[in-house]
Chains A and B, each alone.
Chain A
Amino acid sequence: MLAFIGRRILIAIPTIILISIFVFTLQHLLPGDPILVLAGEERDPEVLEFLREKYRLNDPIPIQYLAWVGNALQGDLGISFRTNQPVLELIGEKLPVTLQLATMALIIAMVIGIPAGVLSAYKKGTWIDWVANVVALSGLSVPNFWLGIMMILLVSVKLGWLPASGYQPFAEDPLQSIKTMLMPAFVLGTAIAATLMRHTRSAMLSVLKSDYIRTARAKGLAEHVVLIKHALRNALVPIVTVTTLIFGELLAGAVLTEQIFTIPGFGKLVVDAVFNRDYAVVQGIVLCTGVAFIFMNLLADVAYRVLNPRMGDK
C-alpha cells in the first residue's frame, strides 16, 4: 500500500508542474494589461513602468515562471495585485468558506441521492425507478446559476425566509452560518445528488443479485433489514469512492454558485481575479485546487483498496 501511495505521489508531481505551466502561460497570454487595471483611473507612465518592473512583467514569461516557482517552493505565492494581500493568506481565508459550502452541499446530496438510489434499485424497472431517475437527472440538468437566482427571488425576496447572500463564519454564529449557506448548498447539492443516486443504484443492483442477499432473504429477515444492513453496507465501497471524487470536484466547482450568492470563497476569488488580471491569485488558487483534486483522487483510490481488499496491486 505504501509503495502504491508513493508511486502515485511521484506521478502527481509532473502533473502539478504541468498545471502550473498551463495556467501561467494562459494568463500571461490573456489580452489586457494587468498594470492598466491596477492603475485604474490614474495613469502616470512613470508609476506604470515602476509597477511593471516591480512585478517582473517586463521579463520573458519563462523567467517569470521560474521566479514564481522559486518563490512558491519557499512557501511564497506572491501578493494580490488588487489588495496587496499575500496569496497564501487569502487562500487560508477562503478555504474554510468553500469547504463549508462543499460539505453542506455533499450532505444534502447524500440525503437525497443515496435513498433515491436504493429505492430505485429496489424497485428497478417500475415507475418509481423511472421517476427517481428523471428527478435525479432534472437536478443535474438545471443550470445552477438559474436555480440560484430563482431561489433568491422566491425564498429571499418574496418570502424573506433566508438571507440572499453573504457569509457568516461558523465559529461566530453556527445557526446563522448554516442558514446563510443553506440555499447555495442546496443549489450545489442538487447537481451532485444525481451522480450519487446513479452510482448508488448501480452498486445496489449488483449487490442485490448476490448470493448472500438471497440467503438473508431466505432466512426470513425483514426486507428493510436486508436492504439497509446487508445490501447498502456492501454497496458502500463504490459510493464512498465516488463521494471522495465528487468532493474534490466540489471544491473547485462552486464557482458560479459563489458568484450568485456573493459567497467570499475560492470560486468568487478566482473569477474576480481572472477578470482583474490578478495573476498571482489565479495561479495560487489553481495550484491549490489542482493539488486538492489530485489528493482526492489518491484518497479515493486508497479508500477503494482499503475497503475492497480483493483488488491487489496492479
Chain B
Amino acid sequence: MSALADPQAVATLPKKQSRFWKKMRANPAALLGGALVLFFVAVAALAPVLPIADPIATDWGAVRQAPSAAHLFGTDEIGRDVLSRMVWGAQASLLAGVVSVAIAVCLGVPLGVMAGYMGGWTDAAISRVTEALLAAPFLILAIALAAFLGPSLTNAMIAIGLSAMPIFIRLSRAQTMVVMTEDYVESARAVGLKPLALVSRYILPNIFPPILVQATLTIATAIIAEASLSFLGLGQQPPTPSWGSMLNVAKNFLEQAPWMALYPGAGIFLVVLGFNLLGDGLRDALDPRDH
C-alpha cells in the first residue's frame, strides 16, 4: 500500500494495528463471526477434495429420502445428496457475496471519491443519481436487473453489485469530504501534490477502514440477496446448486421433506451471521472514537 511510504502513517500504523488486534481478541462475538466465516470459506474451498457424493448425480431410487447414514442430510427431489449440494452451494453463496460486493466497491468508491474530491457539478450529478438508486427499493431494483440480464448466478451478482453500489458511493464521498478538510491534506494540496497522488496517499488509506467494515456487512446482505433472487428463480440455475435455489425447490416439499429446506436455510443464516458479527467487530475495533 502506498500509504506506507508516508512517515506519519508508518509512525501510527503499528500502534493502531496492535490496538486493533487487542480489541478484536477481546470481542467474543467478532471471534465467533470470524470462525463461522473461516469455516464456510474452508468448506467451499475444499469442496472438490472432501469425501462427498457428486452434487449433481441423480438416483431415481432414492428420491427425497430422510437423513440417514448413507445421506447425512438426506436427498433432494431427484435423489441428489443434500450434504454434497450444501458444500458445493457454499461456493455459490460466498462467491455471490464477495463478487457482488467487489463490483459495488470497484464502481462505488471511485465515484464517491470523485464526488467528494471535485465537488460542484460532478458531486451534484453523482449525488442525485445515488439518491435515485437508493430510493428505488434494493430488491426490486435487483429483481428488475436480474430479469433484464437473464437468470444466472453471474447476472445475479452483477444485479446485486449494481444495487449495492450507492451505499459505497455515499460512504466514500462523505469520508473523502472529511479527509479533505484535514490540515495535512490542505498543506499537501498547497505544495502542489497531484490529485491522483493525493487520493492514493491520503484519501484512500483514510477511507479504507469504514469501507472494509461496510463491505463485510454488505457481503452479508448480498448473500441474502442472492438467495432471495435464486428463491425467485433468478439466480443460480440447475443442476448446479446454490442455497437459494435449493430453498426455491424445497418450499414445494415442506411437509414431505423438511430437511431439504432446513439445511440450506441454516447455512445461509450461519454464514450471514458470521459476516455480520465480523463486520460489527471490525467496526468497533477500527472506530477511532474509543467508547
Contact = CB atoms under 8 A, between A and B. Distances in A.
A and B touching (Cβ–Cβ under 8 A): yes
B150 interface: yes
Contact of B220 (A141, A259, A282): A141
Contacts of A23: 136, 144
Label chain A's interface by main secondary structure: helix
B103 interface: no
A38 interface: no
A134 B138 CA distance: 25
Contact of B232 (A22, A137, A153, A271): A271
B37 to A, nearest CB: 12
Contacts of B224: 141, 143-144
Contact of B147 (A252, A274, A294): A274
Given A18-B129, A149-B251, A153-B255, A275 B28 contact: no
A162 interface: no
Interface in A235-277: 249, 252-253, 255-256, 259, 270-271, 274-275
A259 B143 CA distance: 13
Interface string B36-67: 00000000000000000000000000000000
Nearest to B143: A274
B269 A133 contact: no
Interface string B132-148: 11111111100111011
Interface stretch (A43-51, A80-88, A285-293): A285-293
Label chain B's interface by main secondary structure: helix
Contact of A253 (B128, B134, B139): B139
Given A134-B32, A141-B273, A205-B291, A153 B254 contact: yes
A15 B128 contact: yes
B144 A133 contact: no
Contacts of A15: 128, 131-132, 135
Interface string B259-274: 0011011001100110
Nearest to A249: B137
B144 A146 contact: no
B102 to A, nearest CB: 21
A150 B269 contact: no
Contact of B136 (A19, A146, A149): A19
A312 to B, nearest CB: 19
Given A15-B132, A149-B251, 12 more contacts: A137-B29, A141-B220, A142-B265, A143-B268, A145-B227, A150-B265, A252-B140, A271-B143, A286-B140, A289-B136, A290-B132, A293-B134
Interface of B: 28-29, 32, 128-129, 131-140, 143-145, 147-148, 150, 220, 224, 227-228, 231-232, 247, 251, 254-255, 258, 261-262, 264-265, 268-269, 272-273, 276-277, 280, 291
Interchain residue pairs A-B with the least CB separation, the first 4: A252-B137, A146-B265, A18-B132, A141-B273
Interface of A: 11, 14-16, 18-19, 22-23, 26-27, 29-31, 130, 133-134, 137-138, 140-147, 149-150, 152-153, 157, 205, 249, 252-253, 255-256, 259, 270-271, 274-275, 282, 286, 289-290, 293-294
